[in-house]
A and B are shown apart, each in its own frame.
Chain A
Amino acid sequence: MTTSQPNRTTLGGRLIDRTQIKNFQFDGRSIPFHPGDSIASALLASGRSVVGRSFKLHRPRGVYALGADEPNALVTTGSGPTLTPNQRATIIPVEAGMRVAGQNAWPNVQVDLFGLLDRVRPLLPAGFYYKTFMWPPSQWLRYERQIRKMAGLGPPPTEADSAKYAHRNAHADVLIAGGGPAGLSAALAAGEAGQDVILAASGQALGGGLLNQYHQAQDAWLAETITKLKALPNVRIMTMTTVVGAYEHNLFTLSERVVMRDGRMEGQPEERFWQVRSQRLIIATGGIERPLLFGDNDRPGVMLAGAASGYIWRFGVLAGRSPIIAGADDRIYKIARDFIDAGANVRAVIDLRDDPGAMADLLAADGVRVERGAMIVRAHGRHKVRAAEVWRISEAKPRLLELISADAILTTGGFGPALQLHAQARGKLSWDSGLRAFVPADNPDGNVSIGGARGSFNFELAISEGANAGRDEPLPTLCSQQAPSVHAPWDLPRLSKRPRFVDFQNDVADKDIELAAREGYRSIEHVKRYTTLGMGTDQGRAAGPMGLALLAAAIGQEITKTGVTTFRPPTTPVTFGAVAGATKGELGHAIRRTAADGWHAAQGASFIDAGLWRRPRFYKANGATVGEAYRAEAKAVREKGGMIDVSTLGKIDVQGPDAGIFLDKLYTNRISNLRLGRGRYGLMLREDGRIFDDGVVFRTGEDRFHLSCTTGGASAVYQHIEYALQVLWPSLEVYVTPVTEEWFAVAVSGPRARDLLTALLPGLDVTNSALPLMGMLETTLFDQRLLVMRISYSGELSYEINISADWGAALWRRLSELASDLEIIAYGTEAMGALRIEKGHITHAEADGRTTPDDVGLGSLVDKKKDAIGVRSLSLPVFSEAGRKQLVGLVVDDGAATLPIGAQITVDDQGATPRPSLGHVTSWAYSSELQRTIALALIKDGKRLIGERIFIVSPVMGESVAGKVVDPVFIDKEGSRLRA
């Protein structure tokens, strides 16, 4: 023991290494600890009482519990990229050099100026904010800004997290939540039966509640069981791991904190997030200790009695050197003896029972003050308990016995089961009047609760239930282990005007619950939401049952009728980073690259995303800005030629004797009558008649077709086709394979395209007669199958050359070498867009999910004589009504004007809003050929408006361009170029 650890005792301390003393910082002060300490135990050992402030009233907060149910001792650890607010000091192992800070206070938790709020507490009852800050109405937003500043507990990190996190998946026959006697016993039984077992224990050490006491026989059992478990290869023991969620189909999530005694290894994750599918879940999460209710019961120094003795046995720490211990069962005498043995001066033991029996008498005989039929009414002391007001309540009229000075008030109202996982798994609950607690009433999906989690707070019961559960045998019938005591921990007379808190973190007192009930908030969910009861980081563990009981009393209802609030995952808060894992950036959304991507990058391509693909938007060699580059590229294509990587377009192989008939059902136009080696542009609709996708279909064999579709639509189109085949027309014999990734494709366009093709494939006849528009040739290059399809998106003479993706880079390189002699350039999607706009070709900007073939001028592609998906819908009257948006072209008065982004179209650019929109610009470009700005647009009744003047406006940017409506095909309407 050192003087700077005044509360360290030589007794207990089974988790700490007393041979070493290290230091960490709390609010700038160096505090010693032994390895194995939690932040809370180290702070308690050093005599630190105030470690935080409450949420609303900024009342001082000390350590209250031992584990995840801690509502008070929330601290901030780390700094910069490791700054972590709201850490529960009770479960975080302290590390040498760690920086820990108190939170929700200014300047610090000891002297918090916001503590003044507690002085105006009468003005701040539950839900006070619903009743005020409304006048004058204009000022609410100003009030709100101030209120918001008060909110929150710890500080938000401001830097990016430097930690690593990992995801893990596992399967098991049995997952056991909890490393106490019940869980260990279950693990052993299941493990010895040959089952694959995962045992998840929240703490660093196994043993659960056994670690909070000294018991020779039980300790021996623990050591022996751990040895046996470790010898079983089919049992995986995970410490610092909590089962945080139970989901459907027996999926469970686990949060594992990776702890290294000697510092974390380089590259090691800080936490792991597990998803485990287990045949069964055994819930052995133990019980939650409940406090007694009294005035100012939230003062630092007030603690759960069981937790306090846990600090002795686990950490060798005395929560108080002169404590008062209160409760209503015999455990308080055992705890008192622990404290006495550890060197404390126990000031008194206060038993609610009038006649507690032998344990009380024995302790009294040893000279300890024992008050029977008495209760603590109020704590004294602000930053630290100084005394307890003890009243006799066994007599007709309660009376003050004495103000007993003490440095800690340790109370216990018994235990209730930890129900989180059972309730999350949709288990039912029933009220156990002996325990005065809800207990599991069934085994949802075969998930069984045992030990304390079932309400069996007894070592022998716990291990026998564990053994049964481990072997998947039925549990003995649960019988209440204790007769109801006279007083429930919440059913104590209010003898002090001081607030009796139920939810410490959120400053919810019994009066708040009564107020809620009085105001008509009678459902437990209403009370919870109105008072914020149980909505803190302890997930309502500490407050839950007491809140329910007080509400039931306030509205005069049986607690069984009141029910419980919903238990929502996770059972214990989990770091976002761990939930996210490594699936970020490219690992979250891969970048898909075509075979020629390396060439594009080397040539200074500026890329643009098309779904997950990246495509060259333009090549910087052709201009410094996207605008300069695409104009030059488009001009080059029309004058000489250009080549573009079109590998990202979706490609689907359709084979089988019924392939033609099948495609007739997918496309609005007829496909089955295509001749071998010929292609056709086709339109697919959704069943509601709107355009779904478009592309070109080639017949590559008698029973075989090669479909292309848009880049963005590829996966949806494939799913749609499989749906049509398997669900709508399953009797057709057709086989569909998505082959996008198997092909590399390049489109060569422009007046010199044929020259390039000839240079690539010398000796192949590519004249108009051998390879006409919509014709196809198959040959080989690099000993690979090569498909040359004569199709055109740009409106120029154009070929699409396809080769195995493995040879794509080679093909592209060869072409680019040959192209330079012909002054054919590589171009990007931006120029491609300009070229297709000149031709009035549509993309998803025009086929926006609301337009029909007629709307975009492709009505002639609909063959109404056959059934195809969506064609039936086109005969609905709605599609021939006036007011439909139709595809038109636009030109602007100021020939080369830049159009605003996302422009709307109006009749007038003046006047007040609201004013009607005629439609919107879908796409626009500067046409190098026409040397003017052109656009495509969807305009209400647009076809009738050709020639009309309109304004292209962006009210957001304050821009307006005057123009007029024209036909959507700007160049070569006859299509003579593509047939050249």
Chain B
Amino acid sequence: MVRERYSFLALAKHALTGHKNWQPAIRHPEPKSNYDVIVIGGGGHGLATAYYLAKLHGINKVALLERGWIGGGNTGRNTTIVRSNYLLEENANFYEHSLKLWEGLSSDLNFNVMFSQRSVINTCHTPAELEGTMRRYNAMRLNGIDAEFLTAAELKRRVPSINLGQDGSLRWPILAALSQPRGGVARHDAVAWGFARGADALGVDIIQNCEVTGFRRAADGRVIGVETNRGPIAASKVGVAVAGHSGHVMAMAGITLPIESHLLQAFVSEPVKPFLDVVISTGALHFYISQTDKGEVLLGGGLDGYNSYGQRGTIPNIQEVTSAATEMFPNISRLKWMRQWAGIMDMTMDGSPIIGKTPIPGLFFDGGWCYGGFKAIPGSGWCFAHTIANGEPHPLNASFTLERFGRSAVIDEKGAGPFPKAH
């Protein structure tokens, strides 16, 4: 299928005809009866998987099944931060691969995902926090990832609105900061749409409003397709990428996961002119802040702390984050909280994801993204497509197995233990 390329020229050309002749970015096909691969889940991960299956592995007979509308889950409910500032080698290598894909994504997809590499900065408020953060950033450098130290004064020059709190106005004054300059933010919806348009152009059928209700199995246990509310669809390989809902989807295949679903919230202010051109994340005060391209101040914090599929904001967390944020950025106190939302996180028991095979032949699983799902989208799709296409994981995701939990061979970035707490 030949797809018209997006460019300024194309925009100008279509302006002459009132934009009435643009091709659809995606089709709305009816499901066929069988495919080579079915990908369940039309979030960023599923869409990226479908795209890379078609683009890199020559598998074009792919159906992507989405219960609602594409990008409607966590892809559209996050704080859009992209970074690879991880301590453990497995995580660092994977997220760095993903970050590199991000860097070329707009070109690759010919869809501007507005990846703004504006620096992701961790502020350090106690000697112990500085020690731990520096250890992580040193590990990053050894892994070939960019990392930079900022003194408090340098941070203040870079982010004039920040309150270092050294006059006692912060409970834990900022001692210094570490930055990943290549980190940043992207336009979340654009990522879903860009991958969808790219996959669609390569022949992938993106089928929305199609809910999977069960797995079809052969006598020997293999997966041979799925049941949906729009009828059965056959495929010899099925990949599940439904983070947030992994538990009950995989339960249909009889698989219990080391995952709990928890709520993660974020909220924005009304838009104001730009004053904050970096992403700031603080462990001591438990929040992160950035300013969107629209001008909204975007804030997020920790988990609500209990299993939830509520997809509905709650108050204690918002208050905690707002208190901390107005302390560290006293100039935002008079801005107004405009919109709050919540995503359902697949929280694994070690804080690291799962991308790989399952005990059931033909069934593949990608999930458990904890806080890391958005930035992982291209990397996850890339690795998952490789795993589905070859039946074996790529070295980048070879550690992220489901069976690691059965051995207690966990990848515990925070040392937080078998509780769904990790970032």
Contacts and interface: CB of A to CB of B under 8 A. Distances in A.
Q: Do A and B come from one complex?
A: yes
A155 interface: yes
B330 A161 contact: yes
Contact of A132 (B8, B138, B139): B8
B11 A131 contact: yes
15 contacts: A83-B334, A85-B270, A86-B270, A140-B112, A160-B333, A161-B334, A525-B76, A537-B336, A586-B171, A589-B172, A609-B126, A879-B408, A901-B131, A902-B136, A913-B143
Contacts of B410: 688
Of the listed residues B10, B11, B28, B335, the one surrounded by the most CB atoms of chain A closer than 10 A to its CB is B335
Interface string A378-420: 0000000000000000000000000000000000000000000
Contacts of B149: 956-957
Contacts of A133: 8, 112
Interface of B: 6-8, 10-12, 15-16, 18-20, 22-28, 68-72, 76, 89, 93, 104, 106-107, 110-112, 114-117, 126-127, 130-139, 141-144, 147-149, 161, 163, 169-172, 178, 187, 189-190, 193-194, 208, 269-275, 277, 292-295, 310, 312-315, 318-319, 322-327, 330-341, 407-410, 412, 414-418
The 3 A-B pairs with the shortest beta carbon distances in the complex, nearest first, are A849-B415, A152-B295, A902-B134
Interface string A835-863: 00000000001001110000000000000
A504 to B, nearest CB: 15
Nearest to A520: B24
A576 B271 contact: no
Given A148-B293, A152-B295, A585 B130 contact: no
Contact of A163 (B117, B272, B333, B409): B333
Contacts of B332: 156-157, 576
A633 B407 CA distance: 46
A917 B295 contact: no
Given A151-B273, A849-B412, A904-B142, A575 B336 contact: yes
A522 B26 CA distance: 10
B270 A248 contact: no
Contacts of B331: 156-161
A878 B404 CA distance: 10
Given A137-B104, A906-B142, 17 more contacts: A122-B15, A123-B11, A132-B112, A134-B110, A151-B293, A248-B314, A253-B315, A518-B20, A519-B23, A525-B69, A570-B340, A573-B337, A588-B323, A900-B138, A913-B142, A953-B142, A955-B138
A357 interface: no
A535 B144 CA distance: 40
Nearest to B135: A902
Interface in A129-170: 129-135, 137, 140-141, 144-145, 147-149, 151-161, 163
Contacts, number: 337
A873 B407 CA distance: 10
A545 B361 CA distance: 48
Contacts of B208: 523
A135 B325 CA distance: 37
A179 to B, nearest CB: 22
B7 A132 contact: yes
Nearest to A74: B270
A530 B189 contact: yes
Given A576-B337, A904-B135, A913-B143, A522 B28 contact: yes
Nearest to A916: B142
Interface string A518-555: 11111101100110100101010000000000000000
A913 B141 contact: yes
Contacts of A804: none
B313 A152 contact: no
A738 interface: no
A770 B116 CA distance: 70
A155 B273 contact: yes
B22 A134 contact: no
Given A123-B12, A137-B104, A84 B319 contact: no
Contacts of A877: 407
B314 A130 contact: no
B76 A529 contact: yes
A519 B24 contact: yes
A569 B310 CA distance: 14
Contacts of A151: 271, 273-274, 292-295
Contacts of A174: none
Nearest to B327: A584
Interface in A654-670: none
A585 B327 contact: yes
Contacts of B6: 130-132, 134
Interface of A is mostly: loop
A713 interface: no
B271 A55 contact: yes
B339 A539 contact: yes
A234 interface: no
A131 B314 contact: no
A568 interface: yes
Interface in A924-955: 953-955
Contact of B337 (A140, A574, A686, A690): A574
Interface of A: 55, 78, 82-86, 122-123, 125, 128-135, 137, 140-141, 144-145, 147-149, 151-161, 163, 245, 247-248, 251, 253, 275, 426, 511, 515, 518-523, 525-526, 529-530, 532, 535, 537, 539, 566, 568-570, 573-577, 579-581, 583-586, 588-589, 591, 608-609, 686-690, 692, 845, 848-850, 873, 876-879, 900-904, 906, 913-917, 920, 953-957
Contacts of B272: 85-86, 152-156
A519 B170 CA distance: 49
A9 to B, nearest CB: 33
Contacts of A584: 171, 323, 326-327
Contacts of B127: 608
A160 B333 CA distance: 8
A577 B333 contact: yes
Contact of B415 (A521, A576, A848, A906): A848
Nearest to A877: B407
A913 B147 CA distance: 13
A955 B277 contact: no
Nearest to B299: A576
Contacts of A511: 18-19
Contacts of B187: 130
Contacts of A155: 272-273
Nearest to B411: A850
B294 A520 contact: no
B137 A902 contact: yes
Nearest to A955: B141
Given A520-B26, A917-B89, A576 B142 contact: no
B7 A609 contact: no
A576 B15 contact: no
A129 B24 CA distance: 16
Nearest to B209: A523
Contacts of B416: 849
A247 B313 CA distance: 8
B209 to A, nearest CB: 9
B313 A568 contact: yes
B323 A581 contact: yes
Nearest to B184: A141
A956 B148 contact: yes
Nearest to A522: B28
B334 A574 contact: no
Contact of A518 (B24, B131, B147): B24
B308 to A, nearest CB: 10
Contacts of A134: 6-7, 106-107, 110, 112
A931 to B, nearest CB: 24
B142 A955 contact: yes
A789 B331 CA distance: 52
Contact of A576 (B141, B190, B295, B322): B322
A911 to B, nearest CB: 10
Contacts of A570: 337-340
A906 B275 CA distance: 41
